[in-house]
Amino acid sequence: MFSNILIYFVVIPVIMLAGLALCRNIKQIRAVAVTGSLALTALSIYLLVDYLGLRAAGHTEQMLFTGAWDWFKPLHIQLAVGVDGISVAMLILSSIILLTGSFASWKINPLPKEFFLWLILLSTGVFGFFISIDLFTMFMFYEVALIPMYLLIGVWGSGNKNYSAMKLTLMLMGGSAFLMLGLIGIYYHSSANPETLTWNLLEISQNGAISKGWQYFLFPMTFVGFGVLGAMFPFHTWSPDGHASAPTAVSMLHAGVLMKLGGYGCFRVAIYLMPEAANDLAWIFLILTGISVVYGAFSACVQTDLKYINAYSSVSHCGLVLFAILMLNTTAMTGAIMQMLSHGLMTALFFALIGMIYGRTHTRDITKMGGLMKIMPFLAVCYVIAGMASLGLPGLSGFVAEMTIFVGSFEHADMFHRVFTIVACCSIVITAVYILRVVGKLLLGPVQDEHHLKLTDAEWWERTATVTLIISVAAIGCFPNFFADLIRWTFSSDIFSVIGMN
């Protein structure tokens, strides 16, 4: 079992949890958090190299590094792991965000130990989710990632935190209920022979035993279940409140990684296992996600709280992810995964910066701040870069992801898809409006509050966090083909031949 590299994505966080439990002061806590997340980052990069090596050596299986160990035999529950390019990309994303999140919570107060314990537990869930290919363990890790959120927001949050924590948890749990129902349904139709039912994704898709009628029922269940976490209209309202109340690192992990669980799940479970229903029912969700894209962007234009602006911008960008997944062709789906990476990194960067600014000015209201460029140039420049990434400046990650999505979506020649693609394209203009509005009000212009004049610029740990994220964003933006190739491989397999894709 421990010969499989993937297991260590769960083992390391568990060791970190044990290490944290032994810590006595903030320095030790920081040491454990940073060492652990560095180890995870190193591991994910090693995995990437190894993965590419195996692919180059001609391994053409759907998933590599697979392994399965029985967990509960009577129900065929296994701890089954395996990764393809998409999971590898997601693992890298998660480890980078955990690393930068640890730096961003350098001075977390109060109860630093407990904070990191819950944060690492959350990450355990995230990593476990991305390596699992067994639906049951996948769901378990999914829940492990969601529950700590309640405490993290409820205890370390700000503002109306009890309400937000409750709302977020309840809404996501509501999604989970749908999801559980869907997953159990999939299990009972996973194989034609009742003796060989399975939770294993690969086996289910090979069996192809889910009848079309059941797909029509199970696809919406799973898609909505994961879609809630992906902030799909109209189930997105947990996002603004939740993000606004969450502490910095939690916002980063939540918007950066957890929302990606939604998109990943939609693809990996809903579409991967039920392509026929996906093909037939995509239009319903295309309408919803198409609305998400422009609706989120328009809403972001009038918000005055920095975190609300970003939360609505996440609704818009994550809407684009689901929108592109539903286009069901290689290019658009590649773009969707790139958008997940891109949005994860840049939104983490945004939330990190907002946290840093908030830690100094003690307000997130853009009408009460101004001219921060003069006071804290480093943070301000980073904010501008994050904004540029968000509005799709070439050379940063947003551009390549969006363009891949648009080119892919445009492949559908019928009027319905065309109209929605063009509607989605309009978001690039609206995004520019709200990003530049914030930049103009917050960073440029004269200094609004003279108390801000004595504030200081970023400390070294803050610089580490932001620079790491900016480099990652620029790496995707400058060398997109590397990431696109990594991701595209999955879609070029014959799994989607059912619906005449490719």
Partner 1 sequence: MEATIPVLILAIPLFMFLFLGLLGKFMSHKMAGILGTAGMGVTLLLAYFTAYVYFFSGTPEFVDAAGNRLQFVVFNVDWLQFYENLVIRLGFLLDPISAMMLVVITTISFMVHLYSNGYMRDHHGVYEHGFQRIYAFLALFSFSMLGLVVATNIFQMYIFWELVGASSYLLIGFYYVKPSAVSASKKAFIVTRFADLGFLIGILILSYYTGTFSFTDLTSVNVATDTFAVNLGTADHIKNIFANSAVPVFMGGSVLTWALVLIFMGGMGKSAMLPLHIWLPDAMEGPTPVSALIHAATMVVAGVYLVARLFPLYLMETTALEIITVVGAVTALYAAMVACTQLDIKRVLAFSTISQIAFMMVSLGVARPEFHEGLGYMASMFHLFTHAMFKALLFLCAGAIIHAVGSNDYTSMHGLRKHMPVTHITFLIGCLAIAGIIPFSGFFSKDEILSSCLGHGWVPYVWMSFVAGLTAFYMFRLYFLIFWWKEHKVPQGHHQPHDQAWPMTVPLVILAAITCVAGFIPFGKLVSWDGVSYDFMAHFDWSVASVSLLVAVVAILIAMKMYMKENPLPEKMRNALPALWTWCYHRFYWDELYMFITHKIIFNGICRPIAWFDRHIIDGTMDGFAYVTNKASYAIRGLQSGKIQMYVWVYLIGVLLLGLVTAICLL
* Site residues for partner 1 per CB under 8 A: 167, 170-171, 233-234, 236-238, 295, 298-299, 301-303, 331, 371, 373-374, 388, 391-395, 399-400, 403-404, 406-408, 410-411, 413, 421-422, 425-426, 428-429, 432-433, 436-437, 440, 443-446, 480-481, 484-485
Q: Which is nearer to partner 1, 330 or 361 (CB)?
A: 330
Query: Least CB distance from residue 322 to partner 1, whole Å?
Result: 17
Smallest separation (angstroms) from partner 1 to the CB of 299: 5
Using an 8 Å Cβ cutoff, are 97 and 145 in contact? Answer: no
How far is 304 from 312, CA to CA, in rounded Å? 12
Identity of the residue, 190 or 468, whose beta carbon is nearer to partner 1 in the bound complex? 468
In angstroms, the CA 308 to CA 255 distance is: 12
Q: What's the closest the beta carbon of residue 384 comes to partner 1, in angstroms?
A: 9
Q: Which H helix or E strand runs over 375?
A: helix 372-375
Of 138 and 375, which has the nearer Cβ to partner 1?
A: 375
- Pick 433 or 499: Cβ nearer partner 1: 433
Q: In this structure, which amino acid lies at residue 361?
A: T
State the Cα torsion 319-487-222-119 to the nearest 10°: -80
Q: Give me the DSSP letters along 417-437.
A: HHHHHHHHHHHHHHHHHHHHH
Task: Give the nearer residue to partner 1 in terms of CB position, either 123 or 239.
Answer: 239
**Nearest approach, Cβ of residue 398 and partner 1 (Å):** 11
Query: Is the alpha carbon torsion for 490, 493, 497, 500 positive or negative?
Result: positive
Handedness of CA 260, 293, 250, 473 (dihedral sign): positive
> C-beta of 158: minimal distance to partner 1 in Å?
19
- CB of 43 vs partner 1, minimal distance in Å: 28
The DSSP call for residue 235 is S
Which lies closer to partner 1 via its Cβ, residue 242 or residue 263? 242
Report the alpha-carbon distance of residue 129 to residue 48 in Å, rounded: 17
Closest to 274 (Cα-Cα) out of 502, 498, 500: 498
Tell me the closest approach of the beta carbon of residue 276 to partner 1, in angstroms: 24
Q: What are 338's two structure tokens?
A: 């790139």
**Cα-based distances in Å from 489 to 49, 326, 334, 337:** 15, 18, 9, 12
Q: Contact at 8 Å (CB) between 364 and 305?
A: yes
User: What is the distance between the alpha carbons of residues 321 and 401, in angstroms, rounded to a whole number?
Assistant: 9
Q: CA–CA separation, 376 vs 447, rounded Å?
A: 11
Are 188 and 197 in contact, with CB atoms under 8 Å apart? yes
- Nearer residue to partner 1 within complex by CB, 192 or 426: 426
Output 63 or 432, the one with its CB closest to partner 1: 432
What's the distance, CA 63 to chain centroid? 21
C-alpha to C-alpha distance for 268 and 53, rounded to whole angstroms: 24
CB of 446 vs partner 1, minimal distance in Å: 6
Phi, psi dihedral angles at 160 (to 5 degrees): -80, 65
State in angstroms the smallest separation of the CB of 432 from partner 1.
Answer: 4
Tell me whether residue 277 or residue 484 sits nearer to partner 1 (CB atom). 484
Task: Decide whether 76 or 317 has the Cβ nearer to partner 1.
Answer: 317
Closest CB 170 distance from partner 1, rounded Å: 7
